[in-house]
Amino acid sequence: MSAPERIPPGSVTTTDPAVADLLAHGGLTVRGRIRDASNAALYCTVAHEGREAACVYKPVAGERPLWDFPDGTLAQREVAAYEVSEATGWGLVPPTVLRDGPHGEGMCQLWVETAPEAELLALVDGEEPGPGWKAIGFAEVGGGRTALLVHADDERLRRLAVLDAVINNADRKGGHLLPTADGRLYGIDHGVTFNAENKLRTLLWGWAGEPLTGDAVEVLKGLRSALEPGGRLAGALSGLITPAELDATRARTGALLASGTHPEPSGEWPAIPWPPV
């Protein structure tokens, strides 16, 4: 028997239907544990019908309880974030499915290999960001010094900021941004999303209060239609989040269109996750 065709990490697009089929139906083999994850996250390979790829498997049984999210729902929220990303057409979340695995039901997501030379965040001296950068805020860097934390003025990040506003991402850290060698950018770790209360916490505040791009407005209009009762996206999300959370997602999408601007920190919730990276 010949060895399965190995899919190099990051070499497939989020629109390749064969990848979702591989993740959903392939045999999962655990290769190791991702130690810095707050919940159980296992590095695996998945093989099916002569194809094999690396992936991340997060079993529901390994989720830590959270005071503000129902127990055992983080995996579903990761899949819901992927569904919304796909509906935008931007392909910002790696292919993600809900399936059974060696440790029970969990989410399975294609592994993405990052380009380490890509710089999206930086600490700079001074009170204003330089050309090509957006200010996040000041951070202590030791010795009584502070520096300005900035992120790149990058259209890929700007799209991700819009996605985060729709899904109410409560934990957009720098380590959740995965630029790849082919120029794509993915966001990962979407377990704490879709809360019915406003919990947006992100490093991507550089466009706060600025007008949405025309591209973003058109995407949001499409999301609004797809989220209507009976819409394709509403149907996909109904089995993953609660009715109240689905209604809140509709409301956030409508509010973004009504304002025409990127959201600003509410002041009711810490605006930046900790640690930020």
- 198-225 residue pLDDT tens: 999 999 999 999 999 999 999 999 999 9
Verdict on whether the full-model pTM lies above 0.75: yes
| Span 241-262, average pLDDT | 98
Measure the CA–CA gap between 123 and 146, rounded to whole angstroms. Answer: 9
Q: Is the pLDDT of residue 138 over 90?
A: no
pLDDT in tens, 12-39: 455 577 898 999 999 999 999 988 777 8
Q: What pLDDT is stored for residue 1 in this prediction?
A: 38
> Using one digit for the tens of pLDDT, what is the confidence trace for 90-115?
999 999 999 999 999 999 999 999 88
How far is the C-alpha of 24 from the C-alpha of 181, rounded, in Å? 26
Name the band, by pLDDT with cuts 50, 70 and 90, for residue 9.
Answer: very low
Residue 82 has pLDDT above 60, yes or no: yes
Q: Is the pLDDT of residue 8 over 70?
A: no
User: What is the structure's pLDDT at 7?
Assistant: 55
As to burial, measured by CB atoms within 10 angstroms (0-12 exposed, 13-18 middle, 19+ buried), residue 202 is buried
Distance CA 265, CA 206 (A): 11
Report in angstroms the alpha-carbon separations of 226 from 232, 243, 271. Answer: 6, 15, 29
Check whether 3 has a pLDDT greater than 50. Answer: no
Looking at per-residue pLDDT, the higher value among 124 and 155 belongs to 155
State residue 10's pLDDT score. 44
Neighbours of 221 (CB within 10 A): 12
For residue 160, what pLDDT is reported? 98
Confidence at residue 34, expressed as pLDDT on a 0 to 100 scale: 87
**Where does the pLDDT of residue 60 fall: very low under 50, low under 70, confident under 90, or very high at 90 and above?**
very high
DSSP symbols for 248-272: HHHHHHHHHHHH-B-----SSS-SS
What does the pLDDT read at residue 13? Answer: 52
Residue 273's pLDDT is: 85
Quote the crossing angle between the two packed helices 214-226 and 155-167, to the nearest 10°.
30
E strand or H helix that includes residue 108: strand 106-110
Length of the chain counted residue by residue:
277
Helix (H, G, I), strand (E, B) or coil at 161: helix
